Structures are given as structure tokens and as C-alpha cells.
Structure 1
Amino acid sequence: MNILRLKALLGAGCFSLALIGAVLHPAHAGGLERGGYDIDLLFDPAPVATEAEATYVMPDRKYENAKGPGGVDFGFGTSAKGAEGYWVPRIGVKAQVVQGVDCMFDYSQPWGAHVAPGMWNGALSNIETDIKSDNYAGTCSYKMDAGKGQLRFIGGVYYQKVYGYKESLVAPVPGLTGRVDLTSSGWGWRAGIAYEIPDIALRASLVYNSKVKLDNISGTLDLTNVGKGLIPIYGTTQYMPDVVELKLQSGIAPGWLAFGSIKWTNWSLLQSVPICPVAAPSAACFTNGPAEATSLDLMYRDSWTVSGGIGHKFNDQWSAAGQLTWDQGTSHGYGSQTDTWTVGGGVAYTPKPNIEVRLAGAIGVLTSGHSGILIGDNGKVVGGDASYDFGNDLVTAVSGGIKIKF
């Protein structure tokens, strides 16, 4: 088989298989991750390429044996739903600016969480928490010939908005609730390098995404249900995590592609966020400080995500892929973000050379554990307001997307 035939079998159609794996990744990753960061569109060889995709994730996490402070049963219920379903959208456009220079602009929602257990024995800790994000990014690359392939240098910036609310009981009496609403924003940057040999669909990329500094956290503390009104608040400077990801793919036989990735996320940046009244001086606003009115407690540890898969191109119209992913949990005694194992598969249909439609699905296991009292490195004690168990629970996801090239 000559090299031109091999290139035809391993080219653009098989390249899309790695993207099928990418859209399956948000199936309930650890920490606050939803869509994460994805710049695969930047590598598309077309002069102009647009892409839109959405994933719906359905985690079936359940809390059991829930108790309040000191193991007290308030009679509100010992079980509750531990996670809500959510959408992960992404849209992007890539264009070749000049020969060797490509740029991509995209919108995504990298971070988020939605838990709404309602009135349960752990309601002093949480009735509902909903965190969302918006990310607007511009990324460019310059590629040059190197050996049998091409070396690509990658750089970009992104603006990120993170916002949400948390509602919980102030005292163990139904109706005595408080709510914190917060919003913040910041900038980040990315840099990376990649090496490609298109003839055999080989690509190796290493990309670093920086921390995002959130030094303008502001909002309100609503205590109207306990007679204290609406209080303007602020939070101390925090950071969304930096991420390092290595991705590999290569043709392994005519029509077959292997792909995988290893990612490290610096989740330990997110521990306890002290929330203080605007009237309080910043010098007194710190963890366990005199001005701390409440706090957003996460107490995460760093995590690794490892995935690998195989793709096959059946003909010029149809290709398919399967992927296995392990995501290390960020919780370690407080919270329910334990390890996740996910198996996914998807198909890509190319009715015309410039149009590609993708459909994928995934199923996985959220591993079991216990949440209770944890003492952080900064001396913060969390988990005293609720303890609970959770078993091995199911998570499923469906995803669809379309790419149009010009």
C-alpha cells in the first residue's frame, strides 16, 4: 500500500475520532470541571473551520445516612440527591491567518457544579449550590517544517467569568435559610508545543493553561429569612486552577487511530473561601478571621485524568471511536468528588467533505466514599455541619456536535 493511500485512510476522517473522545470527557470530571479547556479545533487543516457541540451529563449521585452536627438526626431525611444534570456547550471558529499561522476563537463553560439536595439532615451545609462559568478565548499557533513533520508553537489568552450561589439553613428550622450570591472574573493565558506528521495522523501536544486570578469576588449575603436583611459581601483573592495536558494520537494501521491523554489539574488552590461584609476591613477577612461571615468550603486536592481510546474509519462517510477514562477524585474525606471511571463511544458522519456530524455517549461509575470532618492545612475545620455516605453511583452522558469547513 503506497503512502498516498495510507494518508487517505488516516487523514481528516480519522482525525475527528480524537474529537469524539474529547466531547465525552465532561462526563462528571473531578472538582468543578465541566467542559475544561479544549483547543483541538486549532489543528484542523482546513483554511476555515467552525464547530458547535453540546454534552448533557446525568450523574446519579445519592447521599445516604446523613446526619447533622454531632450525629444529630433532625428528621429532615437521611438521603438526598447529590448532583443535578447539566449541559456543557462549546462553540468555536478557526482560520488560517497566513501560511503557517492559525487562530481560533471559542466560547466554553470550563467550570461548574450544581447540587440541590433540598431539605435533608445536611441542610445546614447545603440546600442548593449552583456554580457556572463563561470562558472567551483566543488561541493562535505558528507551525514550521521539522524533520518528517511540522513543529507547532501555541499561545493564547482567555477571559473567564465565574459566578453562582449557595443556599443553606442558618439554624435547624425549616424556613430559616441564608443565601450567598457571588460573581468574579479574571484573565488567563496558555502556551504549548505540538509535533505533527499528517501522513500517519500522528500528533503529540503539550499545553499549559494558566491560573485565573479572581481578585474581584463580590456579591450579597441574603439573611432576610432570619431578620438580618441583604448584606453586601466580598471574598478574598482566589484562583481557578492551572492545567497541564499531554495529548497523543497516531495511526496504527490502515483506517485505525489510537489516541490518549494525561492531564494534571491544580485543584488544591481551592480550599476555603472566606466571605466577609463589605464594611469589614480586608486585613480582618481571612480563614477563621474575625470578619468572616461565612465561607465557601471546597478543600480540594490536585487530580490526574488519564484516557485512552481507539478509532476506526469505515469509509469516507462513517467513522467511530471508543474511549476509557479515569478521573482522580478531588475530595479526600470531605465532599463526594471521588474517582470516576467512564467508558464512551461515538460515531462521526461526513455527508459531504466539508460537513461532519458527531454523536457520542458515555457511561461511568462514581466511586463510593464518606464525607465528614476534615481539618485543612490552614486550620479550617469543615464537615462538622453534615456527615453522609455515598455508594458506587452511575453517571451517563450524551453528546452531539457539528463541524463545517470552508
Structure 2
Amino acid sequence: MKIALTGVAALLVGASPLLAGGIERAPQSLSALFEEGNYVELSFGGVDPSVDGTDVAIPGLYPGGTATGDVAQGYGFTGLAYKHQFTEAFSGAIIVEQPFGADIRYPSAIDGGTPLLGGTFAKVDSTTFTALGRYKMPNQFSVHGGIRGSRASGEVGLSGLAYGPVSGYNVELDDDTAIGWVAGVAWEKPEIAARVSLTYNSEVEHDFDTVETGPLVDPDGAGPLPDLPLLAGDSVTTVKTPQSWNLEFQTGVAPDTLVFGSVRWVDWSEFRVDPANFVNVTGGGLVELEDTTTYTLGVARKFNETWSGSASFTFEKAGDDLVSPLAPTNGRKGITLAAIYNQGPMRITTGVNYTRVGDAMPETGTPDTARADMRDNDAWGVGVRIGYRF
């Protein structure tokens, strides 16, 4: 069991990252740090979400009932981890991953989408580089921590009747690199493959060089002032990727059988995108999200010296039905099935995930009224991790 299944808990939780709360795509697991000896790992895969619905009527202006089209674009992901055992007590690791991202695009009305939101989009890319150290104490406890560098960029465009006078607004957030930190503690009992780890991931504060463009705005309604380019300009926008807590656990419950799981809390309410000109004109920012807690529970079984398998269930409670059009989902339930192939120092894990995405109603804050109804959506994901001990 030790060779085949130790570390499978965190490894499979992130085997097929999907649409989670906010713009999360991976759970920032540190599983590679707990591998035995020296270890290197490559992960890759893809996700195909389907998120669509119909728009909602605006009394006296628009009848509603038009299909939005599929607004969530598919994406791929890659990751790399290297762990080195310096002494019996001290080890270190470097982990490269893409924990946050978004690729949302509402088809335009010309392309068969909704006139209310058609043309609205959000594109976010991020890569993190985490350097960690771990010290094992004689009492089965260990501590770990390090620094995390994050490089990110983004672009958002608002379009459609639901955005009123700011339809046509666009903002570009240029590449920025910022630093955060990681710290945690773990307890292990290797003879039964038991481990419990608690890790804190700090917020990372980015200061993005920002370019805003948009339609002319009438500052005084029917007054004498002309329409002005109040939405256009250059500035710096501060965005914090959120702090989070990861509780991960695993334990042997019978010969060659392991139970594993995790609880992840993310402080999404601190994730704000507030470009200066947009806030000055509208009084609010582009994104407002709720905190999320995601639960995973699974079981893994070793069939022989070569093959193992596992199944796990993930649950994220739904929050307020009214959501940002740039993150048009609300909670999720998913199942991941995985096969693990062991051959000498090499381990190959392949995971397939199916997730039912919670119903949501995008709103644009003009006022807080639903502009679309997104229902019965889902996503498929597949991930592969190739690990090698040396």
C-alpha cells in the first residue's frame, strides 16, 4: 500500500481541475513535498466545460428568452514539481502550476447569442512558482513553508443591453509578478499510510498596469455638459489573489485500501477587480465573489503490484444565486475516477472527472437583477500525472 497509494489523496484531488469558486482551476496542493526520496512530477490535461442558459426579460425594453450559447471555453493545464531529500529530516520542493484562470466569452447576438450579454468576455492567465522547505521532527510532526511567486494578466470586456451606457467597455491588465508565502504543519504515521496536513496560502497582491477604453459617458444626463471619455485612461489596478486554507488527509483502513480527502477554504470576497475609471463612473467594480469551502472524499485500492485505482467525490456548496457574468456558476458536485500504474520508480496516474455545475443567474449591478438563467450545466476533465523517484 505504501508504494502505490501514499500521496494519492492530494494527487487525485487535483488530477482534473475544474470550475471551482471564483476563477480557481487547481487546489494548490503540496503533495509532491510528501513523496519519499527525490522525486519529479509532470502533470497535464484539459477541461471541457459547458455553461449556457437563456436571458431574462427587461420589462418594456426586451422580451428575453434568447439562448446565451456556451459561454465557458475549454482549456488545458500543465504543472511541474521537483522534490529533493537533503537529509533524513530536511527536504525541499519547487512546484510550478496554474491555479487561477478564466476563459469566459458570451457569443454575440450576431453569432446567435443574447443581446443582453453578447460579446462580454473575461480572459485571465496565471502561473505560480512555489519554493518550499520541510522539516520532520522526531515526534511524527513536521512543518513546511516557503515563498510563492505569481505571474498573472487579464482582460475583460463588457457588452450588451444589460450593461447600459458602459456597454463596449474594455480593460487590459498587463503582466505583473508578485510574491506571497506558504506555511503549514503535518502529522504522519507511515505504518498505516496516515497523514494529516494543514497549509495556509497567503494572498498575493498584484499591481497591474491598466488600460481602460469605453464609450463616451454623459456626466450630467440631460444637462449642458457633453459626452466625455470618462471610461478611458491609464492607471494601476491592485488585485489580490485570495488567501486560502488546505486541510488534506489520508489513512489506511484495510490492507491495500486508503481513504483520503480534503477541505479547502478560499477567501474569494477579497478578490476584487476595481479599475479606477470604471469605479468612478459606475460606483462599483467588475467582480464580486463569495467565499467558498470545497470538500473532497475518496477511497483508493491497490489491486496488485502494478495497478491501483480510486474514486472520489467533490462538493462545493452553492451561494447567492445572483453571480457575476464573468463567473457564471454557483457550487458544484463532481466525481473523479483514476487509474494508477506503478512500474519500478515510475508512477503514472490518469484521472477522469465529471462535474455538475450549480445553477446561477448572472447580474450586472444595474440594479442587482438577473440578466440570464444558467441551468443544467456540467464539465468533463482529464488529467495525467507522471511521477519518477530517484
Give the TM-score band, short-chain normalised: 0.7 to 0.9
Give the 3-state SS of the residue equivalent to 1:402 in structure 2: strand
Aligned to 2:84: 95
Relative to structure 1, is the Cα distance of residues 70 and 266 closer, same or farther in structure 2, using a 3 angstrom cutoff?
farther
Give distance in 2, aligned partners of 1:185 and 1:122.
37
TM-score, structure 1 as length reference? 0.82
Matches for 1:44-193 after TM superposition, within 5 Å: 44-46=35-37, 48-67=38-57, 72-73=61-62, 77-119=66-108, 120-121=113-114, 127-146=120-139, 150-169=140-159, 177-183=168-174, 184-193=176-185
Gaps of 5+ in 1: 1-9, 278-284, 375-380
Gaps of 5+ in 2: 218-227
Relative to structure 1, is the Cα distance of residues 331 and 83 closer, same or farther in structure 2, using a 3 angstrom cutoff?
farther
Give distance in 2, aligned partners of 1:16 and 1:246.
14
Give the 3-state SS of the residue equivalent to 2:356 in structure 1: strand
Aligned to 2:276: 276
Counterpart selection for 1:203 from 189, 192, 195? 195
| Amino acid corresponding to residue 97 of structure 1 in structure 2 | F
Percent of aligned positions that are identical? 22
Alpha-carbon distance, 1:22 to partner: 2.1
Q: Deviations over 1:205-224 (max 9, x none)?
A: 0110011112x221222459
C-alpha contact (below 8 Å) 2:118/2:160 kept by paired residues? no
Q: Deviations over 1:85-129 (max 9, x none)?
A: 111221110001223111110111111111111213355585221
| Amino acid corresponding to residue 93 of structure 2 in structure 1 | M
Of the structure 1 ranges 251-260 and 73-82, higher mean CA displacement relative to structure 2 is found in 73-82
Aligned to 1:282: none
Matches for 1:6-405 after TM superposition, within 5 Å: 10-24=1-15, 26-46=17-37, 48-67=38-57, 72-73=61-62, 77-119=66-108, 120-121=113-114, 127-146=120-139, 150-169=140-159, 177-183=168-174, 184-214=176-206, 216-223=207-214, 232-271=233-272, 273-276=273-276, 287=279, 291-292=280-281, 296-329=285-318, 332-335=321-324, 336-351=328-343, 353-372=344-363, 387-405=371-389
C-alpha contact (below 8 Å) 1:16/1:348 kept by paired residues? no
C-alpha contact (below 8 Å) 1:66/1:79 kept by paired residues? no
Give distance in 1, aligned partners of 2:299 and 2:202.
30
| Amino acid corresponding to residue 65 of structure 1 in structure 2 | D
Give the 3-state SS of the residue equivalent to 2:53 in structure 1: strand
Give distance in 2, aligned partners of 1:201 and 1:55.
28
C-alpha contact (below 8 Å) 2:56/2:65 kept by paired residues? no
Alpha-carbon distance, 1:34 to partner: 0.6
Query: What's the C-alpha RMSD, in Å, of the aligned pairs?
Result: 2.9
TM-score, structure 2 as length reference? 0.85
Alpha-carbon distance, 1:19 to partner: 4.3
Relative to structure 1, is the Cα distance of residues 202 and 369 closer, same or farther in structure 2, using a 3 angstrom cutoff?
same
> How many aligned positions are there?
369
C-alpha contact (below 8 Å) 1:344/1:363 kept by paired residues? yes
